[in-house]
Copies of this chain bind each other. A is one copy, B any other.
Amino acid sequence: MEKQTVTIYDVAREAHVSMATVSRVVNGNNNVREKTRNKVLSVIQKLNYHPNAVARGLASKKTTTVGVIIPDVSNVYFAELARGIDDIAAMYSYNIILANSDGNQDKELKVFNNLMSKQVDGIVFMGKDVTPQLRTAFQHANVPLVLAGTISKQQIEPSVNIDYHGAIAEAVTSLVRSGCHEIGLVCGSLDYSINADYRLTGFKAGLAANQLTFDDNYVYQTDESYRSGYQLAPKLIDQGLKSVIVSDDELAAGILNGLTDAGVSVPNDFQILTGNDTKLTEIVRPQLSSIVQPLYDIGAVSMRLLTKFMDRDNVAQINVVLPHRIVNRDSTK
């Protein structure tokens, strides 16, 4: 015997009111007499009625769910953003449909379209960059979107980030203050705007501010994985470097361990300053000095911003920059 779903109509009949009235009490509309409301409420309870969100979505054209595109949930950095996103989403009674993209444009496009067909009310996008194709898709969509922890050079889409340029420049200065002049930058591909237009320029600016000359050989493009870092470690010393600024914590952990295993003492012989301040920084030994980013908040603020767009609220600044700072733990002097 299949369980018969109880609908708003059943409640209406049983409570001797119209569907509209039931709908009103369910949706907290005040235009219902106290007595009527109570009667309806009791019938709802008695019948164990639960509104069907799909029907509601079709009728109202709002699904109270937002799409979240993420490169990889199992990546600590993105996972922390995701947690911030979901918490605020829940706070505003939204659900999130999470879709992994591997930071790969084809998948990003595919899941984006899929999310649109599911009629999500908004999108939070995390990725390496916003490709022109993706931008076109975003613009043709009629729902708001915000980039979380994701840079696009043009700053067309609303976004929440930290000042990557400034942070890296400060990182350089911090290293210089510790007496180090041979500083390298290790990050992801320079094909991505965040690396080419923010991190690299910040690196150069930091060098210049400290009267240091920039050397192309001191910047390394990697895939930001632990393994890549581990393998890169020996090359760093061969190159005569005395320190590196690293974009990603897993990558930095790989460099750290690679160095340590090669007999190089961190921070005495080599310093490392990493970029995300995930929980990894405190778990490795020595603990990693880091650019501190409010990861959870980046996610949370992104979602909050999205709710404003979905509510058609005014928003003064669509490109939010959250504060950062540098914390010196044990991988720097």
Contacts and interface: CB of A to CB of B under 8 A. Distances in A.
Interface of A: 2-3, 50-55, 57-58, 63, 65, 68, 72-74, 76, 79-80, 82-83, 86-87, 90, 95-100, 111, 113-119, 142, 226, 250, 253, 257, 260, 279-280, 282-285, 296
A141 to B, nearest CB: 9
Contact of A95 (B118, B250, B283, B285): B118
A117 B65 CA distance: 12
14 contacts: A50-B116, A51-B117, A53-B119, A58-B58, A73-B73, A74-B76, A74-B79, A74-B80, A76-B76, A83-B100, A97-B97, A97-B98, A250-B283, A284-B285
Contacts of A58: 52, 54-55, 58
A50 B117 contact: yes
B114 A87 contact: no
B57 A86 contact: no
Main SS of chain A's interface residues?
helix
> Which of A2, A72, A282, A285 is packed against the most chain B CB atoms within 10 Å?
A285
B100 A98 contact: no
A54 B283 CA distance: 45
Contact of A83 (B65, B73, B76, B83): B73
A286 to B, nearest CB: 10
Contacts of A53: 117-119
Contacts of A68: 98
Contacts of A2: 142
Contacts of A65: 97, 118
Nearest to A80: B74
Contacts of A52: 58, 117, 119
Contacts of A226: 279, 282-283
Given A83-B73, A142-B2, A260 B285 contact: yes
A21 B100 CA distance: 34
Nearest to A115: B95
Nearest to A260: B285
Given A54-B63, A76-B76, A253-B283, 5 more contacts: A50-B116, A65-B118, A74-B83, A86-B100, A96-B98
B90 A79 contact: no
Contacts of A260: 285
A80 B100 CA distance: 12
